[in-house]
Amino acid sequence: MIKKPNFSKNKDGLLPAIIQDSNTKNVLMLGYMNNEAFQETLTSKKVTFYSRSKQRLWTKGEESGNFLAYINHQIDCDQDAILMNVNPSGPVCHKGTDTCWGNANKQEFGFITDLEETISNRRNSENTDSYVKSLFHSGINKIAQKVGEEAVEVVIEAKDDNDDLFLNESADLLFHYLILLNAKGYELNDVVNLLKSRKKA
């Protein structure tokens, strides 16, 4: 793995530094580093840029207190871009948002996150033909019962050799579990964070 950026690639000695949250994997901001800023980041463990407007080194958070704690970094194949993995201590953008693109720095799970949003939308819709809507209408006991039924089906299919049935029942279980989480006012992210808190150092 390449560890050293080639600052001589550009005449001004500056390379773009992409800042990524080490936990959520969201891109938080883009800054520029010269060799001095890069070395200061490694030494202080606080992400430091070269400010093109101030013409000096600038540690993110030196005014706001919202520092970016350095975790590790990667250099791209051409050695002219830096990916910094960090732990932010607060909003990153000077406008007060989590990222410089205005979106929340929230961990997402691709299709699963989309599915959670769909479940929320169906729950709040007026479509009485919606299966999800009907489950919420039936109440928490019915939803919990469905999770139990699907869990039993998964166990039964796990003992057989039909992989298709096992995967289908697993999908049904996960789907109904997401509905149960929603009904209780939670989402998968809450469960993931709890699992992280249990991780031994």
Residue ranges per structural domain of the chain: 15-88, 111-200
Which residues touch 110 (CB under 8 Å, ≥6 apart)? Answer: none
Model confidence pTM above 0.85: no
Tell me: the pLDDT tens digits for 95-116? Answer: 999 999 999 999 899 999 999 9
pLDDT at 191: 96
Please check the confidence at residue 2 and state whether its pLDDT lies above 70.
no
Q: Are strands 48-51 and 27-33 parallel, antiparallel or unpaired?
A: unpaired
**Angle formed at CA 187 by CA 151 and CA 184, multiple of 5 degrees:** 75
Confidence of residue 180 (pLDDT cuts 50, 70, 90): very high
- Angstrom CA distances, 188 to 177, 179, 182, stand at 9, 10, 9
Q: Which residue has the higher pLDDT, 153 or 196?
A: 153
Top-level CATH class of 111-200? Answer: mainly alpha
Please check the confidence at residue 201 and state whether its pLDDT lies above 80.
no
pLDDT at 51: 95
Please check the confidence at residue 149 and state whether its pLDDT lies above 90.
yes
CA 30 to CA 16: how far, in whole Å? Answer: 7
Q: Do domains 15-88 and 111-200 have the same CATH topology?
A: no
What percent of the chain lies above the pLDDT cut of 90? Answer: 91
What percent of the chain lies above the pLDDT cut of 70? Answer: 99
Tokens 């909003």 — which residue?
91
Which of the residue ranges 100-104, 124-128, 178-182 would you say has the lowest mean pLDDT? Answer: 124-128
CB 32 within 8 A of CB 50: yes
15-88: in CATH 3.10.20.810: yes
Q: Please, what is the average pLDDT of the chain?
A: 95
Confidence of residue 128 (pLDDT cuts 50, 70, 90): confident
Query: 65, 70, 75, 82: which is closest to 17 by C-alpha?
Result: 82
Tell me: the pLDDT tens digits for 49-72? Answer: 999 999 999 999 999 999 999 999
Tokens 């166990």 — which residue?
155
CA 57 to CA 32: how far, in whole Å? Answer: 10
